[in-house]
Homo-oligomer: A and B are copies of this chain.
Amino acid sequence: MEKNLKPLIEALIFVSEQPLSLNRIAALIEDTPREEIRNALKELVEDYQKEDRGLYLEEVAGGWQIRTRAEYAPWIKRLFKLGPQKISKPALEVLSIVAYRQPITRAEIESIRGVDCAGVIKTLLEKNLIKIAGRKDAPGRPAMYGTTREFLEVFGLKDLSSLPTLKEMEELEKTIKDELDAEGTTPEDNSTGRDNIPQEGGGTDT
């Protein structure tokens, strides 16, 4: 049994439509210590990391999934004759606001973006990238939005806490500022208190 653990896990992950969590695997394979499963998974990841593989194993959306390597995307798109589905900049912006701030109401999103977002929110709901995650305890009980499991899957995120952290974001900002500062006028340090804008989205994963 033990000897077959790795291939068994491989087979299971392969057939599963959705990323397969460790819990799920453990439930399927009875009487096997989690530690062993974890080890087998680790080995499997390594096997897939070998140079001449077209696939890799990744932890996304709370589970394990086999995916094709990015460099082969052009041929795969050709196989499927895929047309690109555009996501607009505004939509992407709203998506990232929702991702970092969920659960969040439309009014709150709009106050950050300074512009009406009804259409964009609708689009994101249709694409199943966000969902109504509850209702705010406020007049009118407005819907609060959160990201979906599909969002994690599409963006290759293990969970919400794998979103780029605040620190990374700050570094990015600095880079951009530095670029701009080529001009001169050093910024005084009136960085307002609200430093931690994209907080690591509170663990709403449902």
Interfacial residues of chain A within 1-18, with CB under 8 A of chain B in the complex = 3-4, 6-12, 14-18
Pick from B12, B18, B24, B80: contact of A76, CB under 8 Å: B12
Pick from B10, B72, B75: contact of A54, CB under 8 Å: B10
Q: Determine if A154 is an interface residue (Cβ-Cβ < 8 Å).
A: no
Q: Determine if A194 is an interface residue (Cβ-Cβ < 8 Å).
A: no
- Residues of B close to A20: CB separation below 8 A: 79
A-B contact pairs, 27 of them (CB 8 A): A3-B52, A7-B72, A8-B54, A9-B54, A10-B53, A10-B54, A11-B72, A11-B75, A12-B54, A12-B72, A12-B75, A12-B76, A12-B79, A14-B66, A15-B68, A15-B79, A16-B84, A17-B84, A18-B85, A20-B79, A24-B79, A27-B82, A28-B75, A28-B78, A28-B79, A28-B82, A29-B75
Q: Does A54 lie within 8 Å of B84, measured CB to CB? A: no
Q: Determine if A69 is an interface residue (Cβ-Cβ < 8 Å).
A: yes
Q: How large is the interface on A (under 10, 10 to 19, 20 to 34, 35 or more residues)?
A: 35 or more
Q: Determine if A71 is an interface residue (Cβ-Cβ < 8 Å).
A: yes
Q: Does B52 lie within 8 Å of A18, measured CB to CB? A: no
Q: Determine if A120 is an interface residue (Cβ-Cβ < 8 Å).
A: no
CA distance A55 to B69 in the complex (A): 18
Q: Does A79 lie within 8 Å of B16, measured CB to CB? A: yes
A116 to chain B, nearest CB (A): 14
CA distance A78 to B9 in the complex (A): 13
A91 to chain B, nearest CB (A): 13
Given A8-B75, A71-B4, A72-B7, A14 and B54 contact (CB-CB distance below 8 Å): yes
- Residues of B close to A68: CB separation below 8 A: 11, 14-15
